[in-house]
Structure 1
Amino acid sequence: HQYYIDQHLLSCTNDFRDLGVIVDSKFNFNAHINNITHKASSRARLIVKCFTSKNKDLLVKAFCSYVRPLIEYCSPLWNPHYKYQITKIENVQRR
């Protein structure tokens, strides 16, 4: 279908974001999982880089405060079914 607003054609997309979760036209969450693992890995690297203290308890608390919410947000909705998706998410936590 083609949709118009004031005679301007709206572009079609295969992916859309709703409440922060990226979904494609086949109700697949691969783009969302790629996005959150990239963001979570970046934040985890920044935590290690920016904290001068290498106290394990402090780093774990920072990880739980700043990284885990990214990974766990709306997880019942996009629950990963495939092994490669689960592995990708767990790799962030292992690092």
Structure 2
Amino acid sequence: MEFNVDKFKMMHLGSSNPKSNYTMGRANLAITKDERDLGVIIDDKLKFDKHIRGIINKANRMLGLIRIGFSCYDEEIFMHLYPVLVRPLLEYCVQVWSPYKQKYINLIEGVQRRATRLVPSLRKLSYEKKLEKLKLTMLI
């Protein structure tokens, strides 16, 4: 099996890594600071910050499209849209990138918090009561 040098990327891991340049044949291998694999972005420090920011942005954009696309919301419409269009964005591969920093936990949970505000009949309830009424669980 031959390697395609144009598709091959090198990521240096660790602070004591000498960060050498490598060649294959006569071509230098490209060096990258972050890479996407199966939709998950990881950086050279083995952190998922860029990935988490990206999924939060995608989920917020999707919430915006839902808000613009529907003139009235009720619990039934919400439960048809949110679990299919938004929640999978927030849960995809969470076993790999599971957020442990409180700032990311708050941002991810904030997306669901904003989503529950779309249902007018639940606006006066607390977030926990909204989740209970909609039969949803906290994300983190």
Task: State the TM-score, normalized to the length of structure 1.
Answer: 0.88
Structure 1 segments of 4+ aligned residues over 3 angstroms from their partners: 3-11
Unaligned 5+ segments in structure 2 are: 1-19, 115-140
Q: CA RMSD in A?
A: 1.5
Cα distance, 1:73 vs structure 2: 0.3
For 2:68, give the aligned amino acid: K
Amino acid at match of 2:59: A
Structure of higher RCO (CA pairs closer than 8 Å, 6+ residues apart):
1
**Structure 1 match to 2:67:** 48
Q: Counterpart in 1 of 2:93?
A: 74
Secondary structure of the residue aligned to 1:76 is helix
For residues 47 and 27 of structure 1, the distance between their equivalents in structure 2, rounded to whole angstroms, comes to 34
> 8 Å contact 1:43–1:67 — kept in the other structure?
yes
| Secondary structure of the structure 1 residue equivalent to 2:95 | coil
Query: What percent of counterpart residues are identical?
Result: 39
**Highest CA radius of gyration, 1 or 2?**
2
Aligned to 1:14: 33
Counterpart in the other structure of 2:50: 31
Q: Distance in 1 between matches of 2:59 and 2:24?
A: 37
